[in-house]
Amino acid sequence: MAETKLAAYICQGCGLGERLDTAELAKVAQKEGKVPLVKEHEFLCNAAGVQMIRDDITNEGVTHVVIGACSRRAKTEAFGFTDVAVSRANLREGVIWTQPDTVEAREKTQEMAADYIRMGCAEVKKMVLPTGNPNAATNMKMLVVGGGISGMTAALEASKAGYKVVIVEKSPQLGGWMAQLYKRVPSHSPYSDPVDTGVEELAAAVQGDANIKVYLNAITSKTSGAPGKFVVEITPESAAAITEEVGAIVQATGFTPYDANNLPELGYGKSKNVVDQAGLEALAKAANGGVIKRPSDGGEVKSVVFVQCAGQRDDTGKHLPYCSGNCCNTSIKQAMYFKDANPDIDTVVIFDDLRTPGNGEDFYRSAQQKGVTFTKGKVSTVDATGNTCKVNFHDLILGDENAAIVDADLVVLATGQVANSGVDTEARLRAEAASLAGDDALLTALDAQESQEGKKISILNLTYRQGPDLPQLKYGFNDSHFICFPYETRRTGIYAAGPVRRPMDIAQAVEDATGAAMKAIQAMENAAVGSAAHPRSGDLSYPSFRMEGCTQCKRCTVECPFGAIDEDEKRYPLFNESRCRRCGTCMGACPVRVISFENYSVDTVGSQIKAVEVPDEFSEKLRILILACENDAYPALDMAAMNKQLYSSFVRIIPVRCLGSVNTIWITDALNNGYDGVMMMGCKHGDDYQCHFVKGSELANYRMSKVDDTLKGMGLEPERVQTFEAAITDIERLPRLINEYAAKIEEIGMSPFKGF
């Protein structure tokens, strides 16, 4: 690249010119920021302003630009120069909109603006224009593991978008659970009757698609690589392994019904006339539109009872604690099998809460029209006598604890879904952590489970250092960020779709699979151009490791939420660029600070911290550093500014990619430079985390808990460094938080480190 040439542009629009002395700011950029080319403009984001910058890039050879205008989240198109390094000094949202427009406030407002200009100049000098992943790979074929409705849909959608697909299905045919159904819940208006599944046509479409290659009776025995260059070993039953190279993977391995053998009190195993929902589908399929027969003796079914939440939504800890979300509709559908054949058959659904997501409400109403009886109650036991069953239940409306249906010919248990995920790579870690904390229950349970059923089999057999399968959430479902990024797992380029992700029905699985296929395509396309998959889609930067400084502490490999870092033979970190989501958690973790991005590093942020002018102890002016997560806290602060929520002029805010990228050296540097306090704003962590990078804010919180000792060592009050959880909706709360914190620091007093 050509020689570095800096330029700074200061906007006077949006009231900046009236509130701030921009000429003074230009002087700051020139003298203190050492920027040779500084210009003011009355309306920087208009065509003329942008053209002015563009001309300087072309004619003057400007390579690094500081834009002192609005927030980096505003005018991204106008200021989206891709051929130069850009730093944004947030004078609008960060300064004038959050400060009172009074004569008295003018001096402090100007100081704030000057600091942001200094920070912008300091940052941009340390930035290098990102060039993209040098090891980019361009494989555009997609692997789908699982040939059920989710897998087939993902494959067909990807094929329609023009991509090649490989399906690996462990059973001898495509179709999965859907092929086991007699009929399905309707997905189109009028939602009144069960309809044909259409699974044969779908399977035929997959088989007949030239873009899709299907391996039946096969498993994925080994998976290595990264987005754009996965290498997958597919092992068909009794045949040699085949190697396929793919760009992205969709895992659609579906579910297994919760084992009804765990429910002997509901008569399962004791009477042949007690079946689970899958069992009833089999009976209906066998009857094929004819009369459904009683399994025990082939007798006529005159009365059938559906037991909802059998082993689900259980708070005793023995069964599934969650709702599977599809069983109510399934029971409604199955009750219609009987009612449609003969309206005189007694069909009773005993439910606790009837949950009919999607358009199930219409389907439910239709069943009521057909005369299916819905009874709100909780089934306690099912007694089998001869060829009928007695269903004992607590009638929750009539308050009758001894209600019973005495002559049920058939009892159907709605048992719910258990994810077909692979090995829980984090179960042992979690159990060991709990055990250390004094709770041995998890570890004991895990040991018992392992000795009983042997090790659970892996599905993807990843050769990642982080384990052979996708990390799981509670209850064994695969997921990454439930709210913001469904389908995405914590292994970049590998997506979960269908009931392996969360319990769901066919309609939801179809939508899910389509979404997952689109995300997989996005990952492949991004990997091909060397940029990040998501959430920083299009980001060309990636971390580089200065190996000669590395002490092999492995924190980066352990803490990377996405398994992007393996270890090489010499136990140095082996980085996989295209698996990386660019959160910077590794950078925050590294104790020797050898990890950096081209445009985001310990140095870019550290220089900003040091660029702030810290007033001396007699000035009565505090300086508080805020490190704010750019996904939630920073937008919330911007929105607070738009609403003209005022906050202390003593704060200087630096956006960070994730609180996980915060290196403790920044805190130490800030305190050593005489800052009076540091606020960190990250996303909610824990089981119901909202962190876009899953673990970032949690790790930050953990690291910061260790900062207390450092503070004590420095003779400082621990309150001077605090971490806060912030959501993007905290528009009113954050300014309040800042003001409260500033008041508290004022109470504690100035930092003794000023002027050293």
Closest contact distance (angstroms) between CB of 647 and another protein is 46
Structure tokens at 72: 């980096």
Contact (Cβ atoms closer than 8 angstroms) between residue 130 and residue 597:
yes
Contact between 368 and another protein by CB under 8 A: the answer reads yes
Contact (Cβ atoms closer than 8 angstroms) between residue 467 and residue 139:
no
Structure tokens at 364: 């439910």
In whole angstroms, give the CA distance from residue 230 to residue 248.
Answer: 7
Contact (Cβ atoms closer than 8 angstroms) between residue 265 and residue 382:
yes
Closest contact distance (angstroms) between CB of 340 and another protein is 16
Contact between 364 and another protein by CB under 8 A: the answer reads yes
**Stretch in the footprint of another protein (CB under 8 A) among 48-56, 271-279, 374-382, 640-648:** 374-382
Backbone phi and psi for residue 231, each to the nearest 5 degrees, phi listed first: -115, 120
Contact between 380 and another protein by CB under 8 A: the answer reads no
Please name the residues in contact with 643: beta carbons below 8 A apart, sequence gap of 6 or more: 731, 732
With respect to another protein, which residue has the nearer C-beta, 220 or 303?
Answer: 303
Question: Residue from 293, 376, 394, 744 that binds another protein (CB under 8 A)?
Answer: 376
Please name the residues in contact with 336: beta carbons below 8 A apart, sequence gap of 6 or more: 193, 194, 366, 367, 370, 372
- Specify the DSSP element, H or E, that contains 125: helix 106-126
Structure tokens at 157: 């959608």
Question: Residue from 329, 347, 375, 599 that binds another protein (CB under 8 A)?
Answer: 375
Closest contact distance (angstroms) between CB of 100 and another protein is 50
Backbone phi and psi for residue 212, each to the nearest 5 degrees, phi listed first: -110, 125
CB atoms under 10 Å from CB of 446, counted, come to: 18
Pairing of strands 595-596, 85-90: unpaired
With respect to another protein, which residue has the nearer C-beta, 328 or 414?
Answer: 328
Closest contact distance (angstroms) between CB of 336 and another protein is 14
Q: Which amino acid is at 342?
A: N
Helix segments in 566-632, DSSP class H: 585-589, 602-611
With respect to another protein, which residue has the nearer C-beta, 307 or 726?
Answer: 307
Question: Residue from 57, 105, 278, 354 that binds another protein (CB under 8 A)?
Answer: 354
Pairing of strands 255-257, 417-419: antiparallel
Contact between 371 and another protein by CB under 8 A: the answer reads yes
Contact (Cβ atoms closer than 8 angstroms) between residue 459 and residue 145:
yes
Cα separations in angstroms, 538 against 53, 54, 183, 428, 528? 23, 22, 44, 36, 11
CA contacts within 13 A on the Cβ side of 733: 13
Closest contact distance (angstroms) between CB of 333 and another protein is 17
Question: Residue from 30, 46, 180, 373 that binds another protein (CB under 8 A)?
Answer: 373
Binding map of another protein across residues 306-345, x = CB under 8 A, - = no contact:
----------------------------------------
Closest contact distance (angstroms) between CB of 391 and another protein is 13
Length of the chain: 756
Closest contact distance (angstroms) between CB of 566 and another protein is 55
In whole angstroms, give the CA distance from residue 13 to residue 281.
Answer: 68
Closest contact distance (angstroms) between CB of 366 and another protein is 11
**Stretch in the footprint of another protein (CB under 8 A) among 115-123, 362-370, 464-472, 487-495:** 362-370
With respect to another protein, which residue has the nearer C-beta, 1 or 397?
Answer: 397
Closest contact distance (angstroms) between CB of 382 and another protein is 18
With respect to another protein, which residue has the nearer C-beta, 368 or 449?
Answer: 368
Closest contact distance (angstroms) between CB of 399 and another protein is 9
Cα separations in angstroms, 645 against 88, 101, 732? 21, 12, 7
**Stretch in the footprint of another protein (CB under 8 A) among 2-10, 106-114, 126-134, 371-379:** 371-379
Closest contact distance (angstroms) between CB of 373 and another protein is 5
Binding map of another protein across residues 386-415, x = CB under 8 A, - = no contact:
---------x-xx----x------------
Closest contact distance (angstroms) between CB of 348 and another protein is 8
In whole angstroms, give the CA distance from residue 551 to residue 403.
Answer: 70
Three-state DSSP class for residue 745:
helix
Total binding residues for another protein by CB under 8 A? 14
Structure tokens at 657: 């990619």
Question: Residue from 313, 365, 428, 430 that binds another protein (CB under 8 A)?
Answer: 365
In whole angstroms, give the CA distance from residue 315 to residue 501.
Answer: 22
Q: What is the 3-state secondary structure (H, E, C) of 425-489?
A: CCHHHHHHHHHHCCCCHHHHHHHHHHHHHCCCCCCCCECCCCCCCCCECHHHCECCECCCECCEC
Q: Any idea what DSSP says for residue 183?
A: S
Closest contact distance (angstroms) between CB of 403 and another protein is 7
**Stretch in the footprint of another protein (CB under 8 A) among 21-29, 369-377, 414-422, 710-718:** 369-377
Question: Residue from 97, 116, 374, 666 that binds another protein (CB under 8 A)?
Answer: 374
**Stretch in the footprint of another protein (CB under 8 A) among 366-374, 603-611, 618-626, 707-715:** 366-374
Closest contact distance (angstroms) between CB of 334 and another protein is 18
With respect to another protein, which residue has the nearer C-beta, 107 or 353?
Answer: 353
**Stretch in the footprint of another protein (CB under 8 A) among 17-25, 360-368, 588-596, 635-643:** 360-368
Contact between 629 and another protein by CB under 8 A: the answer reads no
With respect to another protein, which residue has the nearer C-beta, 374 or 495?
Answer: 374
With respect to another protein, which residue has the nearer C-beta, 210 or 397?
Answer: 397
Please name the residues in contact with 165: beta carbons below 8 A apart, sequence gap of 6 or more: 141, 142, 143, 144, 154, 155, 158, 159, 209, 211, 212, 213
**Stretch in the footprint of another protein (CB under 8 A) among 34-42, 144-152, 365-373, 561-569:** 365-373
With respect to another protein, which residue has the nearer C-beta, 335 or 446?
Answer: 335
* Burial class of residue 617 (count of CB atoms within 10 Å of its CB; 0-12, 13-18, 19+): middle
With respect to another protein, which residue has the nearer C-beta, 346 or 488?
Answer: 346
Instruction: Single out the residue of 89, 30, 83, 33 nearest to residue 57, CA to CA.
Output: 83
Instruction: Single out the residue of 686, 493, 506 nearest to residue 576, CA to CA.
Output: 493
Per CB under 8 A, contacts with another protein among 511-570 are none
Structure tokens at 467: 């384990």
Contact between 272 and another protein by CB under 8 A: the answer reads no
Contact between 369 and another protein by CB under 8 A: the answer reads yes
Residues in contact with another protein by the rule CB under 8 A: 354, 364-365, 368-369, 371, 373-376, 395, 397-398, 403
